[in-house]
């Protein structure tokens, strides 16, 4: 995530998310742009404060008094997060293709026996590669299916977030498992950055927690389904 420190003359804005109280009434967690004093700059930080009075111009969005709006105000404010959830997860597709190609090239080049035989001839080498190739064909289809429903203007924001989260959980989860297995198949070479597998694995691990940790999102979706707040269509 980009930091809030000005670097090379590039202006940045840090949005503060805090619980908003107006005349003693709780309006939920809202986004604010408070005035910043001329203190030293910091990058990522978590600050806790109470009883901070801000002008009405600092509030992002509109003030609501309804209880349902108060509960959903934060989710509505960060409506763009599901876009990042889905788009970042699409990197699983090239990750699958690149990982399968790298491992297959290694299995073709490495030989064993008196009569040099590429290890690609052994089933233990073929199965992980073929499994990853199969995923590389299936995941793009699932991505297209998810994007079509995600971009449907008739879809509720909660359901749109659910489509993005489900794709992220399935695509990134399976891709990360496959990359880890393929990395082990090429032994110590899997730890070298030149082979890119370790880099791909680390990027996928970062992707898994970016724009909403997959585990937390799944727990929230399961809770919404159990409380009948959302219903996933069969197709």
pLDDT digits (tens, 9 = 90+) for 104-122: 999 998 888 888 899 999 9
pLDDT at 38 over 50: no
* Structural domains in the chain (count): 1
Q: Express each pLDDT in 183-202 by its tens digit.
A: 988 888 878 777 788 889 98
Secondary structure class of 20 (helix, strand, coil):
strand
Assess if residue 96 is contained within a domain.
Answer: yes
**Least trusted range by pLDDT, from 56-65, 138-147, 162-171, 219-228:** 56-65
Domain with 213, as residue range(s), is 72-226
Assess if residue 8 is contained within a domain.
Answer: no
CATH number at residue 129: 1.20.140.10
Greatest mean pLDDT range, 71-75, 111-115, 217-221? 111-115
99 neighbors 197 (Cβ within 8 angstroms): yes
Token readout for 169 is 């959980």
Tell me which of 122 and 16 has the higher pLDDT. 122
Assess if residue 108 is contained within a domain.
Answer: yes
Token readout for 206 is 């970062």
Assess if residue 232 is contained within a domain.
Answer: no
Q: How far is C-alpha 210 from the chain's CA centre?
A: 4
Residue with tokens 């089933």: 123
Nearest to 107 by CA among 126, 134, 94: 126
Question: What 8-state DSSP symbol labels residue 60?
Answer: S
pTM for the model = 0.69
Q: How confident is the model at residue 225 (pLDDT cuts 50, 70, 90)?
A: confident
Assess if residue 51 is contained within a domain.
Answer: no
Q: How confident is the model at residue 123 (pLDDT cuts 50, 70, 90)?
A: very high
Question: Which residues touch 207 (CB under 8 Å, ≥6 apart)?
Answer: 88, 89, 91, 92, 172
206 neighbors 181 (Cβ within 8 angstroms): no
Q: How far is C-alpha 13 from the chain's CA centre?
A: 22
């Amino acid at each position: 995530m980009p930091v809030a420190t000005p670097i090379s003359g590039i202006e940045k804005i840090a949005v503060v998310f805090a619980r908003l109280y107006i005349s003693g009434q709780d309006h939920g967690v809202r986004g604010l742009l408070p005035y910043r004093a001329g203190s030293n700059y910091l990058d990522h930080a978590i600050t806790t404060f109470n009883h901070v009075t801000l002008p009405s111009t600092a509030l992002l969005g509109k003030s609501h008094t309804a209880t349902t709006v108060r509960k959903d105000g934060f989710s509505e404010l960060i409506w763009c997060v599901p876009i990042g959830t889905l788009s970042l997860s699409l990197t699983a597709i090239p990750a699958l293709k690149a990982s399968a190609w790298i491992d297959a090239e290694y299995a073709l080049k490495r030989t064993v026996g008196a009569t040099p035989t590429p290890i690609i001839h052994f089933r233990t080498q073929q199965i992980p590669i073929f499994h990853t190739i199969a995923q590389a064909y299936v995941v793009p289809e699932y991505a297209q299916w998810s994007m079509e429903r995600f971009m449907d203007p008739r879809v509720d924001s909660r359901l749109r977030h659910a489509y993005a989260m489900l794709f992220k959980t399935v695509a990134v989860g399976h891709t990360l498992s496959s990359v880890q297995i393929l990395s082990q198949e090429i032994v110590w070479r899997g730890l070298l950055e030149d082979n890119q597998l370790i880099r791909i694995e680390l990027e996928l691990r970062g992707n898994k927690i970016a724009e909403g940790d997959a585990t937390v999102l799944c727990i929230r979706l399961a809770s919404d389904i159990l409380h009948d707040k959302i219903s996933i269509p069969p197709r």
